[in-house]
Structure 1
Amino acid sequence: MEKPRIFTMSFSSIYPLYLQKAEKRGRTQKEVNEIIFWLTGYDEKSLQQQIIDKVDLETFFKQAPHINPNASLIKGVICGYRVEEIEDELMRQIRYLDKLIDELAKGKAMQKILRE
Structure 2
Amino acid sequence: MLPVSFLSDYGHRDEFVGVVHGVIARIAPEVRVIDIGHDFPPGDVRAGALALLRAVQYVPQGVALAVIDPGVGTSRRAIAAATPWGLFLGPDNGLLAPAVAIVGGAEEIRS
Same fold (TM over 0.5): no
Which of the two has greater helix per residue? 1
Which of the two has greater strand per residue? 2
Structure 1 length-normalised TM: 0.30
Structure 2 length-normalised TM: 0.31
Q: Relative contact order (C-alpha < 8 Å, sep 6+): which is higher?
A: 1
